[in-house]
Amino acid sequence: MSTANPSRDLHGRLAAVSSTEVTAAIGVGGVVIAALLPAGGIEDGPVLCPFRALTGLPCPGCGLTRSWVYLMHGDIGSSLASNWFGPVLILAVVVLAVVSVRSRLAGKRPADLDKLVKSKVVLGLFALFVTYGAVRLILTMTGVVDPI
């Protein structure tokens, strides 16, 4: 007599989902939310960044939400003005989702996120992201650009 344990079966299926797939799903969810949010009122929202709330200065990630919303509504100029890395991250989410789906369709498990994050391309993009944030912070502090 075979007795299947439903919680064990569910755990086995959940364990089969890779961190890459979870990250891709969260990213796709963010892109969908950005598409659903109205672009007209995105500048009126609260400041969610703790660094910016304390200092009034932008961190490297400040403006990403606005950048995604603007881009999803076709306003590329405002997207780039909010944060140059918004379009880069949306492209990364799309690539991650496509790679995950293609791997599963081929009957394979997608590469682990740890391996992807440690790739030279991703590390280089992260270095550019931090450099961009530092330059933006310096330009804001010196008054060359207005705070976002």
Q: CB–CB of 61/133 below 8 Å? A: yes
pLDDT tens column, 72-127: 999 999 999 999 999 999 999 999 999 999 998 988 888 888 888 888 988 999 99
Q: CB–CB of 20/100 below 8 Å? A: yes
Would you mind telling me the total number of residues written for the chain in this entry?
A: 148
Question: With 60 as the cut, is the pLDDT of residue 36 above it?
Answer: yes
Give the C-alpha separation, 20 to 18, whole Å: 5
What are the distances in angstroms from CA 107 to CA 27, 100, 102, 115, 121? 23, 11, 9, 19, 26
Q: Where are the domains of the chain?
A: 18-41+48-141
Residue 4: pLDDT band (50, 70, 90) is: low
